[in-house]
A and B are shown apart, each in its own frame.
Chain A
Amino acid sequence: AQTVTQSQPEMSVQEAETVTLSCTYDTSENNYYLFWYKQPPSRQMILVIRQEAYKQQNATENRFSVNFQKAAKSFSLKISDSQLGDTAMYFCAFMLIRTGANSKLTFGKGITLSVRP
């Protein structure tokens, strides 16, 4: 079974600064995807960024980038130039890629990020 751990329940960052959210996971599999989702108060889960485990290059999406350390099973999210609209809960998630697997997402408990003006 796969597990995802987000040990920081809350973080706060000043607007325009950079913040890093931590995530570790545990799996014996080799082929998987990792995701960061954002959940604002509206409850709508929004995909922020995705990383394929077979890719060594870290994924980037505009102000969002990841530090993927496969051997350490670590997958952190860096948000640069934080904006007030980044205030939300952020969830790290794991998806096993295997023939016959159902592509369900396994989520961490999430971290509440507050961006201060």
Chain B
Amino acid sequence: GAGVSQSPSNKVTEKGKDVELRCDPISGHTALYWYRQRLGQGLEFLIYFQGNSAPDKSGLPSDRFSAERTGESVSTLTIQRTQQEDSAVYLCASSLWTSPSYEQYFGPGTRLTVT
């Protein structure tokens, strides 16, 4: 079946502009995560959605970052007034909340470059 998809694959933007990144999770997956991967680093948790519960935003680095998810479908991560330190790969993952394996399936990521 289809995996997690993300768009765009690559995004180059000028400092100060807003960007919107999209994630399409695996159909039926109730949990959705956003992570950030800076060059040469591990992934950092940003935000988590589970069904209709309030999202866990504890990983968002500043109020310039926000995310939305409609039901159990698409999610968008928005970065306002981008800064050069926002340059990274943004990865999305989804999982079956009820799965005992707790496996998170990752998308290919969006590479964001802020010039």
Contact = CB atoms under 8 A, between A and B. Distances in A.
Contact of B101 (A43, A50, A110): A50
Interface residues of B, number: 26
Q: Which of A43, A95, A106 has the most CB of B within 10 A?
A: A43
Interface of A: 4, 6, 33, 42-47, 50, 91, 93, 95, 97, 102-110
Contacts of B95: 103
Interface string B83-115: 000000101010100000111101111010000
| Chain B binding surface SS class | strand
Contacts of B48: 102-104
Interface of B: 31, 33, 35, 40-45, 48, 50, 56, 59, 89, 91, 93, 95, 101-104, 106-109, 111
Contacts of A93: 43
A104 B104 CA distance: 9
Contact of A42 (B33, B43, B102, B108): B108
A104 B49 CA distance: 11
B40 A109 contact: yes
